[in-house]
Amino acid sequence: MEEQQRRALRRGRARLVAALRVEPLWDPLEQRGLFTRPMLEELQSAGSRGEQARQLIIDLETRGKQAFPAFLSILRDTGQGDLAEMLIQECEARPVPAQLPDLRPVELELREEKQRKNVTPRERLSIPVQAESERPRMPPVPARASAVDKRSHDQDYEMKADPCGHCLILNNVNFSRDSGLSTREGSDIDCEKLERRFKALRFTVLTRRDLKAQEMVLELLKLSRQDHSALDCCIVIILSHGCQTSHIQFPGGVYGTDGKPIPIEKIVNYFNGSNCPSLRGKPKLFFIQACGGGFVSWREKSSGSWYVETLDSVLEQYAHLEDLLSMLVRVAHAVSAKGRYKQMPGCFNFLRKKFFFMCH
């Protein structure tokens, strides 16, 4: 799908969610080959009509070059020609100049980087981090009780369950030849660090390796449909290649080993109140280490990515003391100090309270 067509779908999403009649679309979408029957059944399970419409528009971007004109034709055939005309107008409209900084990848020419023997050349990661040897000194950790005593039950998420919750790690290392995506060497090291760290933080950890996009979706759905009533939290960690979009709220997506993308927004929505009622009002955390997507960083074959290395170190030093967002600021500080070019991990926060891990 061309960029102006994706932009038209995003600009028109609010109106489509409000007005789109999805029921008459299912059969034509299958007949035109845009979606398979299992994919449509998944869309139909998204919740209300509006939620189904939203998910359909998001998924439509991944369905190939003919998806947009075919969708317009289906809209006209089902008596929704006004929505088709709206999308055509949005497609022809000039894009609004972006106010965000240019995030295109740049090639680092640092002499010190060229001397690192084990660094994968020009590896582009979505969340870059500071190397151990160049990490800025962190301030001394205060006494353990000083922050705990200041916590307010009205302002903090309750974390009393043991285990705290489930932690699912999806670790994609080897990709099909047809995908054109390289092997993510060092990702297994990241995975092992995260397994140890979140087990130590009282989570039940389940790891799945080298999954196709549909297999990843099934694992996410399986987790979302479990009963989380007796638990306080849920964590999803994805280590894979990634792609970038211009959607500001949920940037880009991640690839399965077959080279098919899954939008980040779709992953997050599997765990919303409609799809996962037993987690309603409870914190859901997503850590995504995705190569690509427009950001520049490095990953070492022998020690894994700098993002996970720094995240693991910060959690080890401060999880007993500080809330999650404060720790992510520490990670961001370490990342931004790397080299001549600014590198900053993305943090998208929809938490309503402060989140403290339960440490024993």
Which DSSP state fits 255?
E
User: Contact at 8 Å (CB) between 256 and 172?
Assistant: yes
Angle between the 49-60 and 67-77 helix axes, to the nearest 10 degrees? 140
What integer is the mean pLDDT of 91-120?
47
pLDDT of residue 130: 36
175 and 38 together in one domain: no
pLDDT: is 231 or 103 the higher one? 231
What integer is the mean pLDDT of 106-122?
40
Quick: pLDDT tens for 173-212. 999 999 888 899 999 999 999 999 999 999 999 999 999 9
User: Quick check: is 208 in a domain?
Assistant: yes
Q: State the CATH number of the domain containing residue 35.
A: 1.10.533.10
What integer is the mean pLDDT of 101-119?
41
User: Contact at 8 Å (CB) between 261 and 126?
Assistant: no
pLDDT of residue 100: 42
User: Quick check: is 189 in a domain?
Assistant: yes
Which of the residue ranges 90-94, 111-115, 173-177 has the most confident prediction, judged by mean pLDDT?
A: 173-177
Q: State the CATH number of the domain containing residue 297.
A: 3.40.50.1460
Sign of CA dihedral 35, 36, 38, 40: positive
pLDDT of residue 317: 92
Phi, psi of 291 (to 5 degrees): -65, 135
Instruction: Return the minimum-mean-pLDDT range out of 173-182, 238-247, 269-278.
Output: 238-247
User: Quick check: is 16 in a domain?
Assistant: yes
Token code pair at residue 10: 């995003």
pLDDT of residue 103: 40
Residue 26: pLDDT above 80?
Answer: yes
Which among 54, 73, 92 is the end of a domain? 92
SS3 content of the chain, % helix, strand, coil (to 5): 40, 15, 45
Domain count, the chain: 2
What integer is the mean pLDDT of 68-94?
89
137 and 83 together in one domain: no
Residue 302: pLDDT above 50?
Answer: yes
User: Quick check: is 220 in a domain?
Assistant: yes
63 and 136 together in one domain: no
Token code pair at residue 57: 């528009």
Range of the domain at 68: 3-92
Which of the residue ranges 1-10, 126-135, 150-159, 315-324 has the most confident prediction, judged by mean pLDDT?
A: 315-324
150 and 275 together in one domain: yes
The mean predicted confidence, pLDDT, of the chain is: 80
216 and 299 together in one domain: yes
157 and 287 together in one domain: yes
What integer is the mean pLDDT of 273-284?
91
218 and 317 together in one domain: yes
Angle between the 306-318 and 324-336 helix axes, to the nearest 10 degrees? 140
Q: Assign 61 a pLDDT band (cuts: 50, 70, 90).
A: confident
197 and 271 together in one domain: yes
User: Quick check: is 81 in a domain?
Assistant: yes
274 and 330 together in one domain: yes
H or E stretch including 285? Answer: strand 284-291
64 and 128 together in one domain: no
Q: Which residues contact 95 (CB under 8 A, 6 or more apart)?
A: 4, 7
228 and 323 together in one domain: yes
Q: Which residues are catalytic?
A: 241, 291
- Residue 16 in 3-state DSSP? helix
* CB atoms near residue 180 (< 10 Å): 9
User: Quick check: is 42 in a domain?
Assistant: yes
69 and 164 together in one domain: no
Of 173, 166, 171, 152, the C-alpha closest to 203 is 166
Residue 273: pLDDT above 50?
Answer: yes
User: Quick check: is 108 in a domain?
Assistant: no
Cα 261 from Cα 251, distance rounded (Å) = 13
Token code pair at residue 49: 């009509």
Instruction: Return the minimum-mean-pLDDT range out of 122-126, 171-175, 195-199, 329-333.
Output: 122-126
User: Quick check: is 354 in a domain?
Assistant: no
User: Contact at 8 Å (CB) between 198 and 235?
Assistant: yes
pLDDT of residue 96: 53
